[in-house]
Structure 1
Amino acid sequence: MTTPAQPSSDLRSKRRLALTAVAAAVVLAGVAYGAYYALVLSHFEHTDNAYVQAHVVQVTPQLSGTVVAIEADDTDFVKAGQSLVMLDPADARVALDQAEAQLAQTVREVRTLFANNAALKAQVALREAEQSRVKSELARAEDDVRRRAPLVTTGAVGKEEFDHANAQLAAARSAVAAANSAVLAAREQLASNQSLTDNTSVAEHPNVLRAAARVREAHLALERVALVSPVNGHVARRNVQVGQRVQAGTPLLSVIALDHVWVDANFKESQLKDLRIGQPVTMQADLYGKQVQYHGHVEGLGAGTGAAFALLPAQNATGNWIKVVQRVPVRVSLDPRELAAHPLRVGLSIEARVDVSDTSGKMLADVPRATIGAAPAASAAVDTAADQAVQDIIAANLGRRPAPGASGSVDGRTMAHAASSSPALARAH
């Protein structure tokens, strides 16, 4: 026969066994998590404060004008060099005609300077000949006075005749002085004109070069009435309309290069200790969810925290202070093939996970990044056309015919070559 205390003893034994099992499970779970953290989690840094970034290229006019055409709209894909906005080219064309006319006039004025050298040399020779003549007359007048002076005392020469000879001598001396001054003035005038033409030619004269520079400037202004895309990308934030009068530097639209985007992952300062350039990164975008993963690597760490570059930076030296953990932007590249398969947009949220097990890389970049964008090929064509126009105008106003096959003319219509090289300029012209 069992005692009444036996059931309660068995119950305590079972409870003790269950608690022991739970404690053992907790200990094992803690040990397992510790091992997992030490072997796996400690080798990764994670943040969900990350966003897609790209080059947002603003298209702004370089001169004031009225918009006459818009050739791209929001969401359109455009290529580098493609025309986006057209300004009224009338003012630029008139300015080009004026600059070309001014160059032609300047060439003729400089030709006159060179031609004056010969005329002034002839004038100097004429004045020197006149100087020699009056000097001869002075010598003759001095001889007359010298011969008559002893004869006056003897009465062989009258006093009136002697006074007349002295008067002629004084007049001859005045004529010599005038001739000397005339020679000096002619030589100074020649030197003054030669100072404007020495060691140069008509084509290389500073006045001609200044006028030629204005012609090139007018060519560029006419080219710039066509606003072209500097990069390949998609149009965004178009805020210009046809007929609008725009000023130089006013943002008209933006072109975003979505084929070259990156991620700015904002890590806490306590997470930066093991971050290095080149470490692999795995990312997920909220746009596609966990089924799509992106792979990249750390390209660089920001030079300062976000708060340091804020519009209103913190003033921690005033008033009460509460410590806030700062974040530093870390630039992460993306695999172009994965990006082409699953395009991203600027500003999308990203979750980034960096493998920090290899800390042999650098914390700061020391190699310059490649150049972004390049000068449009049309600009080189415009420079060539402007140079050809300048040469044709100079040749025409020097009395020489333009070279055979020259594209420019001399009446202000010298844009044919540039128009053939630049479709946008062809439409403007």
Structure 2
Amino acid sequence: MTTADTNAPTNAGPSGNPKRKKALTILSVAVLAGLAIGGYEYVLGTRSEATDNAYVQGNVIQITPQIGGTVTAILADDTDYVKAGQPLVKLDTADAKVLLDQAEANLGQAVRQVRTLYANNSTLNAQIALRQNDIARAQTDVERAADDLKRRQALAGNGAVSKEELNHAQSQLAAAQTALASAKAGVLTAEQQLSSNQAMTAGTTVESHPSVQAAAAKVREAYLALHRATLPAPVDGHVAKRTVQLGQRVAAGTPVMSLVALNELWVDANFKEVQLRNIRIGQPVRLTADLYGKKVEFKGTVAGLAAGTGAAFALLPAQNATGNWIKVVQRVPVRIALDAQELAKNPLRVGLSMEVEVDTRDQSGKTLAEGSHVNTPAQTTVYAALEDAANAEITKVIARNMARAHP
């Protein structure tokens, strides 16, 4: 054996060291993983914003009486589903009925009084014609008395007419002249009475006369008060938070129960202010509810961003101008519209927790809403029907008092 053979190395290179090779492999995998995570955050992570600070919201409608009264019936209870116009609560109507009867009687009396005014126009016209006939007759009497006096005065110089007869003729002329003046005054008085009466009826009819309209307004008020003793549901929804009890005396405006329209819900997602830079109106949203878990996914759309942070509208707003100030990341509510068909299939409740993820790739939308709603956000026609019924009742009362009595 030579010296060179005895001094040959037993390990030819680093590839022959398994520990070092394993360490290099682990390091390479870690670097690649880091690059992959960084690439995802850069490429995909900026394409969405997510939060679990989101809750279902809806229109919680307070049912309040428009008049005061004693509760006589409760027609709907918590969890009940009611349709728009369905009675919920009834109040005592005894006093309201009395007021309505009085108002209808006053309206009938007003109609008959106004009818009398219109009838007086014809009567006063007839009186004017009669007074004018009196003037013509008195004028004739004056002319005849004047002729008689003139003839007697011509005969008085011959002694053919006594002084007494002459005085009598003069008295007749004076009486005729007085009657003529009285007839003229009667015509003037009748004309003034007609003018006064016409001023109260000109440009109007019995139905539109101010006196009738004033009485009709009282009937409308009493009719509405009577029928407002029944509290209807303004929209379709579920009853919640009933507080009213039988026999309870409630004042106008006192909440008696709430009504929630579960088919018109939305989600308020409270994003951090640093998350809002990429959120736009109209972006698609994926949502899951704790109620159903991940197996049920809702699709939504960003409907708008609030005009201020939650702290700005809090009952006790933060006083950040104080000396002991600590910066807190603020959150802004983002309103997310839900699909009505998905809500019907998987109903939600007001206040439920939601997890929200907004797809922010489309940046073409606005951050603030422009213009106004094309459709009215909320409306009801329940109360309009009551006003129409009140007008129909007024028409009936007027017609009943306009009818002429048959002989």
Cα deviations across residues 113-152 of structure 1 (Å, max 9, x unaligned)? 1221222122222332333344445555666777788999
User: Residues of 2 paired with 1:28 and 1:295: CA distance?
Assistant: 35
* 1:42 alignment counterpart: 46
Residue 202 of structure 1: SS of its match in structure 2? coil
Residue 258 of structure 2: SS of its match in structure 1? strand
Q: 2:101 aligns with which of 81, 97, 102?
A: 97
Cα pair distance change 1:19/1:215, threshold 3 Å: same
Deviation at 1:334, TM superposition (A): 2.3
Asked if 1:185 is matched to 2:200, the reply is: no
* TM alignment of 1:392-411, pairs within 5 A: 392-400=396-404
Deviation at 1:92, TM superposition (A): 2.3
* 1:298 alignment counterpart: 302
* TM alignment of 1:408-419, pairs within 5 A: none
TM-score (norm 2): 0.81
User: Residues of 1 paired with 2:159 and 2:320: CA distance?
Assistant: 119
Asked if 1:266 is matched to 2:270, the reply is: yes
User: Residues of 1 paired with 2:82 and 2:70: CA distance?
Assistant: 22
* 1:375 alignment counterpart: 381
Asked if 1:110 is matched to 2:122, the reply is: no
Q: Structure 2: where are the runs of 5+ without partners?
A: 1-13
* 2:238 alignment counterpart: 234
User: Residues of 2 paired with 1:275 and 1:147: CA distance?
Assistant: 118
Deviation at 1:214, TM superposition (A): 3.3
Which protein is bigger by CA-based radius of gyration? 2
User: Residues of 1 paired with 2:176 and 2:384: CA distance?
Assistant: 70
* 1:6 alignment counterpart: none
Counterpart residue identity of residue 246, structure 1: V
Counterpart residue identity of residue 270, structure 1: V
* 1:411 alignment counterpart: none
Cα deviations across residues 71-112 of structure 1 (Å, max 9, x unaligned)? 111122222222110111222222222222222212211221
Q: Structure 1: where are the runs of 5+ without partners?
A: 1-9, 402-429
Residue 131 of structure 2: SS of its match in structure 1? helix
Cα deviations across residues 28-70 of structure 1 (Å, max 9, x unaligned)? 3331211010121110111222111011011111222111000
* TM alignment of 1:160-171, pairs within 5 A: none
Counterpart residue identity of residue 73, structure 2: A
* TM alignment of 1:9-408, pairs within 5 A: 24-139=28-143, 175-314=179-318, 323-365=327-369, 366=371, 368=373, 370-371=375-376, 372-376=378-382, 380=385, 385-400=389-404
Cα pair distance change 1:78/1:385, threshold 3 Å: closer
Cα deviations across residues 195-224 of structure 1 (Å, max 9, x unaligned)? 222344333433333333433443333322
User: Residues of 1 paired with 2:313 and 2:44: CA distance?
Assistant: 35
Counterpart residue identity of residue 305, structure 2: L
Deviation at 1:346, TM superposition (A): 1.2
User: Residues of 2 paired with 1:83 and 1:284: CA distance?
Assistant: 36
User: Residues of 2 paired with 1:124 and 1:319: CA distance?
Assistant: 93
User: Residues of 2 paired with 1:18 and 1:332: CA distance?
Assistant: 51
Moved more, 144-153 or 213-222: 144-153
User: Residues of 1 paired with 2:350 and 2:360: CA distance?
Assistant: 27
* 1:415 alignment counterpart: none
Counterpart residue identity of residue 242, structure 1: L
Residue 273 of structure 1: SS of its match in structure 2? helix
Deviation at 1:19, TM superposition (A): 6.8
Residue 290 of structure 1: SS of its match in structure 2? strand
Cα pair distance change 1:170/1:323, threshold 3 Å: farther
TM-score (norm 1): 0.77
Cα pair distance change 1:146/1:34, threshold 3 Å: farther
Residue 246 of structure 2: SS of its match in structure 1? coil
User: Residues of 1 paired with 2:330 and 2:156: CA distance?
Assistant: 119
Cα pair distance change 1:258/1:395, threshold 3 Å: closer
Moved more, 183-192 or 268-277: 268-277
* 2:6 alignment counterpart: none
Residue 46 of structure 1: SS of its match in structure 2? strand
Residue 231 of structure 1: SS of its match in structure 2? coil
Deviation at 1:326, TM superposition (A): 3.2
* 2:7 alignment counterpart: none
Deviation at 1:15, TM superposition (A): 8.6
Moved more, 172-181 or 72-81: 172-181
Across the aligned residues of Structure 1 and Structure 2, the Cα RMSD in angstroms comes to 3.6
Moved more, 38-47 or 281-290: 281-290
User: Residues of 1 paired with 2:404 and 2:29: CA distance?
Assistant: 103
Cα pair distance change 1:236/1:147, threshold 3 Å: same
User: Residues of 1 paired with 2:174 and 2:107: CA distance?
Assistant: 54
